[in-house]
Structure 1
């Protein structure tokens, strides 16, 4: 019983501890454009070094039954400073085949070794 009372007391102390408030990260630049056909482009940059840029355009793709349907094809990149203070940039595209990122921090699929 004493253990439960001590545990509840510790929870109460932690819950009552004030949380330090931080300033929101400022957006230095932000832009968004859209087309009537469904395409778009946007980019932004924040004061803590995050940057993102992306473009999307509507294209026609074939489904499993070879019927055409519209898909949004996306290309873009984002960059940030990692936990070790190193800058990292990821470029990507996404289409009917999936999401395809590339960058130094993205693991590479090893090529099959031949024996």
Structure 2
């Protein structure tokens, strides 16, 4: 009888432990994936998930062996739907000139002058709050 009680107790604990390990969000399967890495250091990778996320990237080492002109160059594109359902597509190029993203959802400066794009409202409010509520300075002796 004691053995049955112990087994029942352990079973309840294991079921509760297993339930605590399940993720809150469903697992999204990968429906396609491709990777290729060459001996020269160039590569290509891509994947697509069941929830519509797509990613492609390729990279190459430019001017290999010439230490003064050697540079990595990576091109890619990622697309997904924003929480509000808006389709997002971000293309990018990263090389010796830095990271250069492009997408219709990114703010851009007017072409006719060098003014930066406007600060998003949420960031502006955060900056104003931080300015109005500075952190206390640490105590120093």
In the alignment, structure 2 segments of 5+ residues that lack a partner are: 1-19, 115-141
Q: 1:20-39 to 2 correspondence within 5 Å?
A: 21-39=24-42
* Larger relative contact order (Cα-Cα within 8 Å, sequence gap ≥ 6): 1
In the alignment, structure 1 segments of 5+ residues that lack a partner are: 1-17, 62-66
Match of 2:16 in 1: none
Q: CA deviation at 1:69?
A: 4.5
Q: Distance in 1 between matches of 2:39 and 2:96?
A: 21
Q: Distance in 2 between matches of 1:37 and 1:20?
A: 40
Match of 2:96 in 1: 96
Asked if 2 retains the 8 angstrom alpha-carbon contact of 1:39 and 1:72, the reply is: no
Moved beyond 6 Å, runs of 4+: none
Q: What is the aligned length?
A: 91
Give the secondary structure class of the aligned counterpart of 1:68.
coil
- Whether 1:52 and 2:52 are equivalent positions in the alignment is no
Greater strand share, 1 or 2? 1
Q: CA deviation at 1:25?
A: 1.0
Name which one, 1 or 2, has greater alpha-carbon Rg: 2
Q: Distance in 2 between matches of 1:71 and 1:29?
A: 30
Compute the RMSD of aligned alpha carbons. Answer: 2.1
Q: Distance in 1 between matches of 2:74 and 2:104?
A: 20
